[in-house]
Amino acid sequence: MGIYIFGMLSTLMIEVITLSYSSKVKFDFLHIVAFILLMIICIPIKISNLIMIIGGVLITYHQDNGRDSWLRYIIFVMYSFITTWILQVVLNFYGSKIYDWFNYNNYLGTLVCQSIIFLMQIGIIYWFKDSLEILSMSDSSKKRKMELVAIAFLAIYLIYGSTFNDNYNSWWISVYVIGLILFWGYIRAIALLETKRELDELKDFELQNIENYANKIEEMYQGLRRFRHDYLNILLSMDQAIKSGNLELIEETYTKIMEPSKEKINAAYYDLGKLKHVKTSAIKSILYNKFSYAAREGIELEIEINDDVTVQYTRLLDAVRILSILLDNAIEAALESKEPRLLVAYIKDADIERVIIENSTKVERVEIAPLFKENYTTKSGNRGQGLATVKRLIGHYPNVSLKTSSSDYTFTQELVLNKEEKR
């Protein structure tokens, strides 16, 4: 009885930790107690595995406040529970063939088996963390179909496992092992396909925005040519007004001619010409797209890019994702403020590069801590991606850090790249 209780509790611990690592949901004490009570309730029930999964989905959903889709909760719970059970069956079968004690019939064997399974589960999640991140950030229409396939695959395993008895043989175990390998291969394959899709979309997006950027530069150039052509006439008008000595005429001429000209010269879209310093076309496309949208929405835009910008120390897709999230959040927050404004600056020193994104806010000071929580978003319908996603992406690069601050109705994000720590 003692070995059974120890095995059940340690199995639950492995399942919950695996679930937490894979889903990024942190379970508090009360929800862990709920898992334990669920396990106790399921002990005498014949379909205990199914009840455990259903209960696990409900507990996870409640802990996460329903921020994600039901499909994803089902996938993560099914994966964590079913793969743990599979690994236990496989290890118990082959362990008994190696040593008599290497099974779940004694305390030492149970401890060794559970420790190996725990390390395997954590190792697998770490190995596939890039794939999981790619899929979690994907908004592809094919994503739901992929999730349904994964659920169906795990459901088949659940049914298959329920047919086991104490006399299972090597053929049954081989099916388990091969199936697990195929499942992990499937996850990796769809992540690679999703990456390819993103790259193709980025290429199309890049070409379209580069063309729009080129057209905008041409429009700005023609506008400056027209202004230069009219400049002599403006000076002649002012000259006549000054020679007349009539102050009212001078003031009237200034108001009618010079003020509109001043606005034309200082129009925000002329700052877009500074994107010529951005040498990576994909980044230039993203910046042009976001800046154009901000300008159209009436945001006071200030761009300070006076040095050449290239992506050298991070993956291009990661750089695009990080900038997109930071700019989307900044623009959304600025639009909610009384006087919308957005500043984007790039500062390049000898060993450090900085990207500063600063926006106005509707409140004097924004609480920063909640912004870094998993699945946290201020957007309606739980759409969008928060700073937790940015933090995970930056976590891949020890030379990149993010500094966040808020005060005086201004929210500032400083992305710091230390080139000396490149690896």
pLDDT digits (tens, 9 = 90+) for 342-375: 999 999 887 888 999 999 999 999 888 778 776 5
Interatomic CA distance for residues 246 and 285, integer angstroms: 51
Written as six digits, the tokens of 185 are: 């291969």
* Token pair for 392: 């995970």
Packing angle of the helix pair 70-98, 143-162 (nearest 10 deg): 40
Nearest to 122 by CA among 243, 208, 17, 43: 17
Helix (H) or strand (E) holding 254: none
More reliable by pLDDT, 413 or 2: 413
Q: What is the mean pLDDT of the chain?
A: 77
Share of the chain above pLDDT 90, in %: 19
- Helix, strand or coil, per DSSP, at residue 334: helix
DSSP state of 277: G
Buried b or exposed e, range 66-98, using 16+ CB within 10 angstroms: eebeeebbbbbbbbbbbbbbbbbbbbbbebeee
Contact at 8 Å (CB) between 411 and 361?
yes
**Residue-wise pLDDT tens digits, 211-233:** 565 555 555 555 555 555 566 66
Question: Is the CB of residue 118 less than 8 Å from the CB of residue 17?
Answer: yes
pLDDT value, residue 421 = 53
Give pLDDT tens digits for 74-129.
Answer: 888 888 888 888 888 888 888 888 888 888 888 898 999 999 999 998 988 887 77
Longest CA pairwise span in the chain (Å): 112
Q: What is the pLDDT of residue 384?
A: 41
Distance CA 363, CA 407 (A): 9
Rg of the chain (C-alpha set): 30
Pairing of strands 352-360, 341-348: antiparallel
- Of 239 and 344, the one with more pLDDT: 344
Q: Which of 37, 38, 72 is nearest to 54 (CA)?
A: 38
Helix orientation angle between 29-42 and 2-23, rounded to the nearest 10 degrees: 130
- 376 pLDDT more than 70: no
Beta strand pairing call for 300-305 and 341-348: parallel
How much is the pLDDT for 276? 79
- The two beta strands, 400-407 and 410-418, are antiparallel
Q: Does position 410 have pLDDT exceeding 90, yes or no?
A: yes
Q: Which of 290, 284, 297, 226 is nearest to 260 (CA)?
A: 226
| Closest among 57, 56, 52, 79 to 68, alpha carbons compared | 57
Q: Measured between alpha carbons, how far is 237 from 233 in angstroms, rounded to an integer?
A: 6
Q: Which residues pair with 356 in a beta bridge?
A: 345, 414
Give the bridge partners for 404, in sequence order.
413
- Altogether, the residues listed in the chain come to a count of 423
- Classify residue 24 as left (phi > 0), alpha (psi -120 to 50) or beta: left
Residue 165: φ, ψ to 5°: -140, -175
User: Which of 227-231, 273-277, 404-408: highest mean pLDDT?
Assistant: 404-408
> How far are the Cα atoms of 210, 211, 287, 294, 322 from residue 281, in angstroms, in the given order?
7, 11, 10, 20, 16
Q: Which residue has the higher pLDDT, 366 or 395?
A: 366
Three-state DSSP class for 235?
A: helix
411: Cβ–Cβ under 8 A, 6 or more apart, which residues?
330, 333, 358, 359, 360, 361, 366, 404, 405
More confident residue, 279 or 11: 11
* Buried/exposed code over 149-165 (b: 16+ C-beta within 10 A; e: otherwise): ebeebbeebbeebeeee
Q: How far apart are CA 103 and CA 124, in angstroms?
A: 22
Residue 300 clears pLDDT 80, i.e. is over it: yes
| Residue 382: pLDDT band with limits 50, 70, 90 | very low
Residue-wise pLDDT tens digits, 182-204: 777 777 777 777 777 766 666 66
d(CA 118, CA 112): 10
Contacts of 1 (CB under 8 A, 6+ apart): none
pLDDT at 91: 86
Terminal-residue alpha carbon distance, the chain? 52
DSSP state of 142: T
Burial string for 306-332 (b: 16+ CB within 10 Å, else e) reads eeebebebbeebbbbbbbbbbbebbbe
